[in-house]
Amino acid sequence: MTSTNTFERVALLVSESERAQEASDALRETMDFVALEDAEAAVVLGGDGFMLQTLHSMLDGGRVLPAYGLNLGTVGFLMNRYRSGANVLKRINRARATAVAPLWMDAVTQTGEARSYYAINEVSLLRETRQTAKIEISVDDKVRIDELVCDGVLLSTPAGSTAYNLSANGPILPLDSHLLALTPISAFRPRRWGGAILPDRSKVKFTVREPDKRPVSAVADQKELRDIAEVSLEIARDRELTLLFDPGHALDDRIVAEQFVV
């Protein structure tokens, strides 16, 4: 839907890249930005990596604001086009709001350490050595694969389905599909298993087999935890994020378009 908000207090968050820093100087001449703690929305200037970093800071910090990205990175899948001299406040107030719900990961290491992270794109389990990983997969407390022999496995949100998931030959999920993609990475056994599409109410658990011989790490977006024993995953519905996109440039439009790239 098109935004009906009229944001007045907007913060500017800028990546450390030279291009972003130069563009921020130009933007500050066009409008007055406020501190993040006083803002109603945030302009995020950089690339997809910086947008993910910013969203994670909001999740970890407890105050989540609508985020409007301006791309000065490479792909810019989560961003809008940067246009020099454009009225940014006007663009924000015409933008379409897109809700993105992250995954919540509860992980336990082989030493019994418990850690929890959010993942906006995906959580991936990856072998740490030349030995293939052996991973048990449960969905809603029922073992679905007793032993997946692989380089790894991942669980992706719709927002992340065009990232690592797509590179691993996983399905592209429409943003409003309420689905998750469970995708193997270089599976050896069962050889013909290509993954699964799950309702986003599903609770998924990965348990590492033979961890001493076949150690596995878990990566939640940009955060890695090594020597994993088990990982439990579910959607964090209480921490929904809001991304703002220009009309005709929304994330769900791009997810559809990505399926026709040849």
- Is 87 annotated to bind a ligand? Reply is no
- Is 164 annotated to bind a ligand? Reply is yes
- Is 163 annotated to bind a ligand? Reply is yes
- Is 25 annotated to bind a ligand? Reply is no
- Is 151 annotated to bind a ligand? Reply is yes
Q: Residue 133 is encoded by which pair of tokens?
A: 């990983």
- Is 218 annotated to bind a ligand? Reply is no
48 is catalytic: yes
Q: Compute the distance between CA of residue 178 and CA of residue 183 in angstroms, rounded to an integer.
A: 16
Q: Compute the distance between CA of residue 105 and CA of residue 239 in angstroms, rounded to an integer.
A: 13
- Is 121 annotated to bind a ligand? Reply is yes
Q: Compute the distance between CA of residue 141 and CA of residue 234 in angstroms, rounded to an integer.
A: 12
- Is 122 annotated to bind a ligand? Reply is yes
- Is 159 annotated to bind a ligand? Reply is yes
- Is 217 annotated to bind a ligand? Reply is no
- Is 22 annotated to bind a ligand? Reply is no
**Set 48, 60, 221, 253: catalytic member:** 48
Q: Compute the distance between CA of residue 125 and CA of residue 197 in angstroms, rounded to an integer.
A: 18
Q: What is each CA distance from 18 to 22, 23, 45, in whole angstroms?
A: 6, 9, 11
- Is 17 annotated to bind a ligand? Reply is no
Cβ within 8 Å of residue 2, ≥6 positions away: 94, 95, 96, 247
> Residues forming the annotated binding site?
48-49, 121-122, 151, 159, 162-167
Q: Which residues are catalytic?
A: 48
Q: Binding site for NAD(+): what residues are annotated?
A: 48-49, 121-122, 151, 159, 162-167
